[in-house]
Structure 1
Amino acid sequence: MKFLQLLQIIIKLFIMIISIAILNYILARSSTSVYIILSYYEYSSPSVVEALSKYYGFDVSPLQGALIFLVNLFSGNMGISIFYSTPVSHIVFKALMKSLLIILPSTVFSTFLVFFLVIYTIKYMGTRRDRIVDYLIISLMAIPEVLLAIIFFLYLPSNIFSMIALLTLFQVTFVYVFMRRNMVHILSEASDLVEYYLSLGFKGREIARELIRMSLPLVYISIAYSIATVVPVLVFVETVFNYPGIGYMMFTALEKSDYPLASGCFLILSIIAILSNTMSDLISSRYDWRQDIYETQR
């Protein structure tokens, strides 16, 4: 990867994070005021109200308030929860650690399953076996996330392993659809290469191994994208299973009208999604052989 490409990706990442942070501040200034916060005295003390007023800069101009907000945010200060009367950063990062306990294992398990699906797709593409698997996964993907979470909650033990299995299923279905759509293009683009391998006397297993090697960057990209797609699913899964992760905290914050906590959860989830998409861009520009062909043609 060229230095300028890496610099462009980093600048884009920084601009997106700043934009989301400013959007949070604008929403706070336009929809939250000291008078609204005062109505939550039953949940929080006057000191919390005063701290939030300073945090959102209600006593200064919007521009000064935005600068103060950004400085606080990048120093780790996300305000104070109205309902819990606790710093939002403590609540959010504690909940995030719990969510990672189900995100990371599900990503690992889905990665292994995806590798098997890649091999299966290359070996049986276009056959009856391939169509059966394709219809099954697309049907699973069409089921609403909430309904699938409720089914798992009713018929499986209500524990962390059921949530890991559910998130694994979500990631596998997304990655399979993404991977299969692009795998067709790869195989069509590699048709001349397959004929070349056959002319050299390569056997089917050796050709399949080369095609799998060519498709690995696509698998890595799809896995990175799947992390971004599983983030909103956390809200449904953790709420249904009553698991105190960041998705559950976001739902609770919305239910209690706790804007600082809701905005903190939204910001962290957005950053995770942005980082996942940025990671996929980095992998694509570094390892995807089709990018080299595109650059050569340009």
Structure 2
Amino acid sequence: MRPDPKHPAPFPLPCNPPMSRARFLRLTAATMAGFALGTPTAAARVGSAPSAALLTRPIPATGEPLPVIGCGTYIGFDVARDSAEHQRLPGVLQALFDAGGSVIDSSPMYGRAEAVTGELLAAAGSHGKAFLATKVWTRGRAEGIRQMEESLRRLQVERLDLMQIHNLVDWQTHLATLRDWKAAGRVRYLGVTHYTAGAYDALEAVMRAEALDFVQINYSADEREAERRILPLAAERGMAVIINRPFGGGGLLRRLRARPLPPWAAEIGATSWAQVLLKFVLSHPAVTCAIPGTSRPEHMADNALAGTGEIPEPTFWARHSVDAS
């Protein structure tokens, strides 16, 4: 459904007042200064442990620090309980938590992923370590409520950290419900998602018309369309940004893995191509967290290292291009 920018907000709550241009420019300038010094920015340091630990950035709506690397569950967590893949998943979550991470993102669209995630967290007693995000992906108020109730049951929680409207499906209906749920304390944050630049016109209209806590989008070294309008608008409107395709949509990481790391990777403390690509994403000051998906503990640990140490300034990538064509 394409949103109508003229349609009034169902519940015009001023929970996230628009950020002024002057404030946005001041925050951006401060972030760039931190990058230029080669140290974590003020945003990255909020609530974070020593420099070797995973950096955090604040959720604009509240200032709550969020670790900059999380874990997506698409494909990797949609596995049978008696499979070899399932046996590796406790190690994935442990690697995330050991690194100081917390964000785990799922969806009813991901098959068994929500249920598997909930079972693993319950078995390890780790619900308290997780920032749990999932989505509503259906049409109609009653069906949306039913699906969200089922997500709570599968994830084995009474309240979610973040509920998102998946790919803007019936977004006006679900946004009204989510505002009710947020007021009742059933969700802490609400947002919308998409995974393709072809939806950015519709996404931009929603972002301009509505007060949202989070936006989840695709952004990578080979999918940079979000830089034009979506990322600056998120910063202006005070919305946290989760990146759901940090390794690109065309097998970018698979192609790069066949090549040796360039010498300049050492300048930013990257020891793998995955870390290079994640540091690229985190270089944009509007990005709050990236959620690469994996079902392997060693990959989760490697991904988390991208959120430690130096995050390069954006101009670094003008001098050092990531090109796997």
TM over 0.5: no
Answer with 1 or 2: which has the greater Rg: 1
Say which structure is richer in strand. Answer: 2
User: Comparing both structures, which one devotes a greater share of its residues to helix?
Assistant: 1
